[in-house]
Amino acid sequence: MASALVLLAEGFEEIEAVTIVDVLRRAGVTVTVAGLAPGPVRGAHDIVVASDTTLDAVAGESFDAVVLPGGGPGTQRLREDSRVLELARRSASAGKLVAAICAAPTVLDAAGVLRDKTATSYPGCPLPSARFVEERVVEDGNVVTSRGPGTAIDFALALVARLVSSEAAAEHRKRLLA
């Protein structure tokens, strides 16, 4: 069974985070939600989510995917955290799936993961090391990026296709009426 680590920082975009976790779990992916610090994490729109654990507690574990929800303040916190940048680098170098949505692709850019990759992000969130395109979901090798809250289901289903199968993604797309 595939595994994914979803990181939450204060100020994360709730629609993206919950959609990613929900869709991946529906498809049978083992999802671990890790906060940067212990305790519940408050989203950008004042919704509080309980994480399963902390980033420090899972630092030595291996996941098939590392997924970063966006949200302006949350993304800034992820980008400023050396543990997150190192995790993104290490996962990408190991050929693991590294995925980010909304403003969070800027974290991958800061980590050097987007160098020579085609990627997308929320409007106004520059990705200087990538070839930027305005598409809902962009897959380039082991990197998957997406635009924002309105693309969260498509993004999560792209992850299902990569972690489980394209058939599972198609079946869940149908069930979700997406």
In the chain, where are the structural domains located?
3-175
Rounded to the nearest angstrom, the gap between the alpha carbon of residue 86 and the centroid of all alpha carbons in its chain is 15
CA distance to 89, 112, 173, per residue, from 86 (Å) = 5, 10, 33
Reported confidence tier of residue 109, pLDDT bands at 50, 70, 90? very high
Range 121-149 average pLDDT: 98
Q: What is the pLDDT of residue 11?
A: 98
* Average pLDDT estimate for 152-163: 98
Please pick, among 4, 27, 84, 102, the residue that the annotation labels catalytic: 102
> Which pLDDT score, from 0 to 100, does residue 44 have?
98
Q: What is the pLDDT confidence band of residue 155, given thresholds at 50, 70 and 90?
A: very high
Name the band, by pLDDT with cuts 50, 70 and 90, for residue 17: very high
Burial label for 10, CB within 10 Å (0-12, 13-18, 19+), is middle
Is 102 annotated in the active site?
yes
Place of tokens 């498809």: 27
What is the SS3 string spanning 35-59? ECCCCCEECCCCCEECCCEECHHHC
Q: Go through the chain and tell me how many residues it has.
A: 178
> pTM for the complete prediction?
0.98
pLDDT reported for residue 86: 98
State the CB neighbour count (10 A cutoff) for residue 138.
23
Residues 88 and 55 sit within 8 Å (Cβ to Cβ): no
Cα radius of gyration rounded to whole Å, the chain: 14
pLDDT band at 178 (very low <50, low <70, confident <90, very high): very high
Half-sphere exposure of 92 (CA within 13 A, CB side): 23
Q: Evaluate whether 174 touches 166 at the Cβ level (below 8 Å).
A: no
Superfamily of domain 3-175: Class I glutamine amidotransferase (GATase) domain (3.40.50.880)
Question: How large is the average pLDDT for residues 1-24?
Answer: 98
